[in-house]
Amino acid sequence: MIDLNHSRGVMAMLVSRFEGEQLGRLLDLKRAVDSGERLGEQQSSLLERACGEAMQSKRLVDRHPEYHALYARSVRLYKEITARALENELNARPAAAIPGASGRLN
């Protein structure tokens, strides 16, 4: 019983932290990359930290089905930001600077 109460408390703290500290910044990142911006060092660090925390909390989330949908949406958000940020980076480079890109179509 103590373990269950403890894990519920930890989950509540993680959700509160996510909603209060990370979600707004992540949505700002999403808007930025969706408009073609490249991530700076600080933004990349924020995304890396958020992804790392999500991975660390996965086992705890698995024990609380009521948080599965929120967890899945947050992971999808990280994936969307990361994919678009990579696309923006690749689009910002000339084709000759991308390994394996010859600029020719076969």
Q: How do residues 48-81 score in pLDDT, each as one tens digit?
A: 999 999 999 998 899 899 999 999 999 999 999 9
In this structure, how many other beta carbons lie within 10 angstroms of the beta carbon of residue 61?
21
The region, left, alpha or beta by phi > 0 then psi within -120 to 50, assigned to residue 103 is left
**Could you tell me the CA-to-CA distances from 101 to 22, 23, 87, 94 in Å, in that order?**
36, 36, 15, 9
Task: Work out the pLDDT band at 105, boundaries 50, 70, 90.
Answer: very low
Average pLDDT, the chain: 86
**How many Cα atoms within 13 Å fall on the side-chain side of residue 10?**
15
* pTM of the complete model beyond 0.85: no
Q: Is the pLDDT of residue 100 over 50?
A: yes
